[in-house]
Amino acid sequence: MKVVVDMNQCQDHGQCVFAAPDVFRFDDDGHLAYVPDPDESLREQVEEAADVCPLQAIRIEA
């Protein structure tokens, strides 16, 4: 699957990191980093992350 985060929207609060820790994390600078092509088995986690993102910054493209 393909995931895109609009980094202009993202404010690094990290709800997605809690919802899908295998896909989203914070880098050493405290900014969001993520796997753009996570395994299909992680889809439910990613959908949950997209749901909880307060800025609707996470888009699932495929």
Q: Nearer to ligand SF4 by C-beta: 26 or 39? A: 26
DSSP H helical ranges for the chain: 15-19, 43-52
Least distance CB 37 / ligand SF4 (angstroms): 17
Least distance CB 44 / ligand SF4 (angstroms): 16
Query: What are φ and ψ of residue 41, in 5° steps?
Result: -65, -15
User: Which residues form the interface with ligand SF4 (CB under 6 A)?
Assistant: 5, 10-16, 24, 32, 53, 55, 57-58
Q: Are the CB atoms for 8 and 61 separated by under 8 Å?
A: no
Token pair, residue 47, equals: 């959908």
Least distance CB 35 / ligand SF4 (angstroms): 13
